[in-house]
């Protein structure tokens, strides 16, 4: 299944396709046309949105770990699967899996990340 080819709908793949189209729109925009205040607002909102997306990623990683997904795919663990699938460094793959686990265990930090009140960097330090 290719997420980008799915129309609007209530299921997660369709929602991801909608988000992807919106990001395409942001990428094709002309930032030079923005006022300083618009630029300021968009930078902050995109940084906070990145945290919210990381919270979604974390939920998916925890589900994948709980299911034993990576092992069934032939990897030694989820970090190994991410490293191979997304061509991440070992350090980055492990950091992402650790963040997912930690923000699930620490519900306050996970909720703050999901709400966009903290960034990924804040959640990593917390």
Q: What would the mean pLDDT of 88-112 be, rounded to a whole number?
A: 93
User: Where in the sequence is the domain holding 97, given as residue range(s)?
Assistant: 53-126
- For residue 124 the two structure tokens come to 């990593």
Residue 25 covered by a domain: no
Q: Are 93 and 99 in contact (CB under 8 A)?
A: no
Give the model confidence (pLDDT) of 2-44 as tens digits: 444 545 667 999 999 999 999 999 999 999 999 999 999 999 9
User: How large a percentage of the chain has pLDDT more than 70?
Assistant: 91
Q: What is the mean pLDDT of residues 41-52?
A: 94
Q: How far is CA 20 from CA 4, 7, 15, 44, 119, in A?
A: 7, 11, 9, 19, 21
pLDDT at 31: 95
Residue 84 forms part of a structural domain: yes
Residue 24 in domain: no
In a domain, 97, yes or no: yes
> For all residues of the chain together, what is the average pLDDT?
90
Single pTM value for the model: 0.84
> 16: how many CB neighbours lie within 10 A of its CB?
15
Beta strands in 1-126 (DSSP E): none
Q: Please answer whether residues 106 and 126 qualify as being in contact, where contact means their C-beta atoms are separated by less than 8 angstroms.
A: yes
**Cβ neighbours, 10 Å, residue 77:** 15
Cβ atoms within 10 Å, residue 71: 14
83 found inside a domain: yes
- Position 1 scores a pLDDT of 39
Residue tagged 């929602």 (tokens)? 15
Q: Looking at the predicted structure, is the pLDDT value of residue 126 above 70?
A: no
Does residue 41 form part of some domain? no
Total count of domains within the chain: 1
Residue 9 lies in a domain: no
């Amino acid at each position: 299944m290719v997420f980008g080819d799915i129309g609007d709908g209530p299921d997660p793949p369709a929602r991801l396709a909608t988000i992807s189209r919106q990001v395409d729109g942001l990428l094709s925009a002309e930032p030079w046309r923005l006022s300083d205040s618009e630029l300021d607002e968009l930078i902050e909102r995109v940084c906070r949105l990145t945290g919210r997306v990381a919270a979604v990623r974390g939920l998916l990683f925890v589900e994948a770990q709980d299911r034993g997904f990576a092992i069934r795919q032939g990897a030694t663990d989820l970090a190994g699967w991410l490293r191979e699938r997304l061509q991440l460094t070992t350090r980055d793959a492990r950091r992402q899996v650790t963040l997912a686990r930690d923000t699930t265990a620490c519900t306050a930090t996970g909720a703050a990340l999901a709400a966009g009140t903290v960034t990924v960097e804040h959640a990593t330090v917390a």
